[in-house]
Amino acid sequence: MKIVYTFLAVTLANFLFSESLLFKNASVYTGNADEVFEDHDIYVVNGKIVEINKDLDLSADKIINAEGKIITAGFISPYSHLGLVEINMLAETRDDSSSVYSAGFSISQAFNPSSTLIPYNLNGGLTSAISTPSGNGLFSGLGSAFSLSGENESLLLKDLALYGSIEAGGESKAANLLLMEDIFELTRAFNGDLDKIQDHALPKSFEYSKRDLMAIKRVLSKEIPFVVPVNRASDILSVIEFSKNQNIRLVIMGAAEGWRVAKQLFESKTPVILEPINNLPTSFDNLGSKLENAALLNKAGVRLLISSDRWETHNAYLSRQGAGIAVSYGLPWNVAVNALTKNVSETFNIPDRGSLTIGHEADLIVWDADPLEVTSFAEQIYISGKLMPSNTRSLMLRDRYLKRD
């Protein structure tokens, strides 16, 4: 009987009383002001941020002494295949592409919250990620945002952007832009009747299902952005022109030569997903790539999002190192952190995340030192106020073989 009472009491407590956390005396970077607030406290109730201020005199279920630590919002990967891939080279471990669907391919059902990459990248500092389809076509599909909590309910925002490429199929980029234009025009006229598609006479090899056209319709209505990887200055201008004519929300990925057309990127309000670590002229399309790109784009007023190298899903958290390198080449520190957090959530409309704001989810990280520094670690990671486990498969392997004298 006593056990039953205890059980009831605990259940009741959980039901009636909220759980509260109080982080004391941290250096807090909220994302809402340029500076870091020293000796600030953060009060979290029921997984949401309730107050951020000095000397909060509040009682809490748990008080975390964060003196000498930096607290930021959890970082958000703007581009990776997290949850969709285990081993890059092994197709049987990949769930991120479709040859049947194009624009309409949603990866939202493919996400595996138990992937080994998720606790690993979580402990690298990512609390959420936009996972994207991969593919070589004109359109590879729709990406979604996920929490990296490892729980079954990880989906944060479904089908938040369409991904495409003008480098598909060995065609001239100009031909691909024409094709995109034709398909967008077709979609504009499309009202759900597949027979109508025939009227628009696309090249024979291009077949679009209703699902594909409905995805493009969401781009045309400006509900979701269209993400296009492009590097050459002239190609960036072509894509900006295309987005103006189609009246859509464009996000550019890569933009190695972005600094050469920074003014146009700013004027067209085009956000850019940068991989700041990539400065090699790997092709004739990115001969102008350089480490100063991030700083120059920021100076021109372009909104930046920072990603790891797009091929590096396994180390998506190394966006932190890329941000640090961008800072060493002139990008202000706070802008770099925003590019890892709020600029991602705002660009893709992921609600209540990306900054330490009253009412937002308490996705936050207690860092042992500057989070952009390569020698720093995330000490404690919270998602919606819940302390995440710090173990990973990699740490378990280490501990099996590590001999500590």
Partner 1 sequence: MRYLFIFSLFFFLISCSSEVFDNSEREGERDDIYLSTYNPSSSGDVLVKGGRVLTGTGEELLSADILIKNNVIHEIGELIEPSPNTKIINAEGKWVTPGIIDIHSHMGVYAAPSLRSNSDGNEATSPVTPHVWAEHSVWTQDTQMPLALKGGITTYHVLPGSANLFGGRGVTLKNVWSKTVQGMKFPEAPYTLKMACGENPKRVYGSNQEPSTRMGNVAGYRAAWIKAKEYKDNKNATRDLKLDTLEGVLNGEILIQNHCYRGEEMAIMIDISKEFNYKITTFHHAIEAYKVADMLAENGICAAMWADWWGFKHEAFDMVWENVAIVDQAMGGSGCAIVHSDSGIGIQRLNQEAAKAMAAGNRAGFEIPRKRAIKWITKNPAKALGIDDRVGTLEKGKMADLVIWDSDPFSVYAKTEIVLIDGIIKYDHSDPNSPKPTDFELGIISPNENRL
Binding site for partner 1 (CB under 8 A): 86-90, 117, 277-284, 287-288, 290, 309, 311-315, 318, 321, 324-325, 327-328, 372-377, 394-395, 397-398, 401-402, 404
Secondary structure E strands in 243-317: 250-254, 272-274, 304-306
Min separation Cβ 280 and partner 1, Å: 4
Nearest to 190 by CA among 168, 215, 172: 215
Pick 157 or 306: Cβ nearer partner 1? 306
d(C-alpha 279, C-alpha 286), whole Å: 9
Neighbours of 185 (CB within 10 A): 13
In terms of CB distance, is 152 or 375 closer to partner 1? 375
* Closest CA relative to residue 274, chosen from 231, 329, 224, 226: 231
Task: Find the shortest distance in angstroms from Cβ 265 to partner 1.
Answer: 18
Q: For residues 116 and 392, what is the distance between their CA atoms, to the nearest angstrom?
A: 8
Handedness of CA 237, 217, 175, 227 (dihedral sign): positive
Amino acid identity for residue 85 in this structure = V
Outline where 76-166 has alpha helix (H).
117-124
Q: Which is nearer to partner 1, 198 or 375 (CB)?
A: 375
Pick the closer one to partner 1 by CB: 11 or 88. 88
Residue with tokens 């479904």: 158
Taking Cα atoms as reference points, which of 126, 134, 151, 105 lies closest to residue 310? 134
CB of 259 to partner 1, least distance (A): 11
Q: Which is nearer to partner 1, 21 or 366 (CB)?
A: 366
Q: Which is nearer to partner 1, 186 or 256 (CB)?
A: 256
Smallest gap from Cβ 241 to partner 1, in A, equals 21
